[in-house]
């Protein structure tokens, strides 16, 4: 029988238990966790974040910026912590931030906000499902009231409905304050569904709390159209001469490259018509205690570029499903909180500010990589700074 990992039912998040488990690893594998076991915070902080705690992974954190953000919540210059093991990434974002700063900054807007849970109700036939959908619409105020009894910050905004076969899929859309909110909306939706089950006059055959139309931790076109998390749009206009002096490419060349890459993205069936927003999003997520698996949704993006009458380059990136938090989850852990504090983004009423800073960061990366590909810097920069050495 395999040996069981040591646990303490009363106090499992302690330095002593972490050491016991590291000793267990050495006994079972012969590996001594010299670096994993070195950390500066009380393991009790991790209660609710991790099970069977043994230590930490130490991902390097670099600092990019400042990026000049002209947002509604983030206004001014911000230094951005980015956790990554990919050489050149921070340097590239830093270069893009310089370009945007000298161009007057990035206008960033959060234009939508919704977190979902999508239960499915199963009936005997399609007509029963249709009638149920009409009843849900009529009784939305009561459903909303029940759902909101489970949370102080979650608000049920609306319920989308989708019919298929004998099923009725409901997509509950909540705002969730400064939390990412997946657990919050799961509980609220469960209570709402139980109320529906009890009160629907015709009776319900069965339901599942998730019918997969919330597309949790995976991309979907539905999220691109209807938003999951924060819908963020970052945009800037950059003089062609400034592009040439900093990036080594004129605006017209960058504009033509963008048009060609849009065709390539279409043929590939990509969920992102830009260059690499996942790089910047993941690096900031890791530094600030976000749920990194949400990059699956958050990395979707729609880019648009244009030239004005003076030949200046307008670029915008829409991130339809940016799932971020400034409260709860991993945001209160020691290093993660410090990184949020660098940007003034920890705690209450800061989530839109963080979303705007991330949007500006992503735009900086799009500009820098696009220019690097055209100017021939892409490979040479990895040779000089990255893993090609």
The better pLDDT of the pair 375, 135 is held by 135
- Decide if pLDDT at 1 tops 60: no
Q: Does 276 qualify as catalytic in the annotation? A: no
The model's pTM: 0.94
User: What pLDDT sits at residue 377?
Assistant: 52
Res 379 pLDDT > 50: no
Q: What is the pLDDT of residue 275?
A: 87
Per residue in 305-330, pLDDT (tens digit) is 999 999 999 999 999 999 999 999 99
Give residue 382's pLDDT: 47
How many helices (H) and strands (E) in the chain? 13, 10
Tell me how long the chain is: 389
Provide the pLDDT confidence category of residue 373 given band limits of 50, 70 and 90.
Answer: confident
356 in catalytic set: no
Mark whether 308 is an active-site residue.
no
Domain ranges within the chain, ordered by starting residue: 15-46, 61-112+229-385, 119-208
* Residue 24 zone, left/alpha/beta (φ > 0; ψ -120 to 50; rest): alpha
Q: Which CATH architecture has domain 119-208?
A: 2-Layer Sandwich (3.30)
pLDDT of 153 above 70: yes
For 246-302, what is each residue's pLDDT tens digit? 999 999 999 998 889 889 999 999 999 988 999 999 999 999 999 999 999 999 999
Looking at domain 61-112+229-385, which CATH architecture does it have?
Alpha-Beta Complex (3.90)
DSSP state of 301: B
pLDDT in tens, 72-82: 999 999 999 99
Q: Of 86, 102, 131, 160, which one is the catalytic site residue?
A: 86
Across 204-226, average pLDDT: 93
Q: Spot the catalytic one: 102, 226, 338, 382.
A: 382
Q: Above pLDDT 90, what percent of the chain?
A: 90
> Could you tell me where the DSSP H helices lie in the chain?
15-29, 89-102, 126-138, 140-147, 182-199, 221-226, 240-247, 251-268, 277-288, 295-298, 334-342, 351-375, 377-385
Per-chain mean pLDDT for the chain = 94
Tokens of 102: 């000298």
For 115-133, what is each residue's pLDDT tens digit? 999 999 999 999 999 999 9
Write down the catalytic residue from 131, 160, 291, 338. Answer: 291
């Amino acid at each position: 029988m395999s040996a069981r990992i040591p646990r303490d039912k009363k106090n499992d998040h302690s330095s002593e238990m972490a050491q016991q488990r590291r000793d267990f690893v050495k006994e079972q594998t012969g590996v001594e966790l010299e670096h994993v076991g070195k950390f500066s915070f009380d393991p009790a902080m991790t209660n609710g974040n991790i099970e069977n705690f043994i230590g930490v992974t130490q991902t390097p954190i670099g600092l990019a910026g400042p990026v000049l953000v002209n947002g509604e919540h983030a206004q001014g210059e911000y230094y951005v912590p980015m956790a990554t093991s990919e050489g050149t990434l921070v340097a590239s974002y830093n270069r893009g931030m310089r370009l945007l700063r000298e161009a007057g900054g990035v206008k960033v807007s959060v234009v939508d906000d919704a977190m979902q849970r999508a239960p499915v109700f199963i009936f005997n036939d399609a007509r029963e499902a249709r009638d149920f959908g009409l009843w849900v619409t009529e009784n939305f105020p009561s459903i909303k009231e029940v759902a909101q009894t489970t949370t102080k910050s979650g608000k049920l905004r609306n319920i989308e409905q989708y019919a298929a076969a004998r099923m009725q899929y409901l997509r509950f859309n909540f705002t969730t304050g400064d939390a990412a909110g997946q657990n919050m909306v799961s509980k609220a939706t469960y209570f709402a569904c139980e109320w529906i089950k009890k009160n629907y006059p015709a009776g319900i055959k069965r339901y599942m709390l998730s019918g997969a139309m919330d597309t949790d931790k995976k991309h979907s076109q539905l999220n691109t159209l209807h938003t999951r998390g924060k819908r963020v749009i970052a945009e800037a206009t950059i003089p062609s001469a400034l592009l040439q002096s900093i990036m080594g490419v004129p605006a017209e060349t960058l504009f033509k490259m963008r048009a060609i890459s849009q065709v390539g993205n279409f043929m590939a069936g990509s969920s992102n018509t830009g260059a690499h927003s996942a790089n910047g999003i993941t690096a900031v997520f890791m530094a600030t205690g976000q749920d990194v698996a949400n990059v699956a949704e958050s990395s979707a993006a729609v880019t648009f570029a244009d030239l004005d009458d003076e030949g200046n380059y307008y670029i915008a990136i829409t991130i339809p499903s940016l799932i971020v938090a400034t409260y709860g989850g991993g945001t209160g852990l020691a290093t993660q909180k410090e990184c949020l504090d660098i940007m003034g983004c920890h705690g209450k009423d800061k989530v839109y500010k963080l979303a705007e800073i991330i949007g500006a960061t992503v735009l900086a990366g799009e500009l820098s990589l696009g220019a690097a590909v055209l100017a021939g810097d892409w490979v040479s920069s990895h040779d000089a700074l990255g893993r090609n050495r």
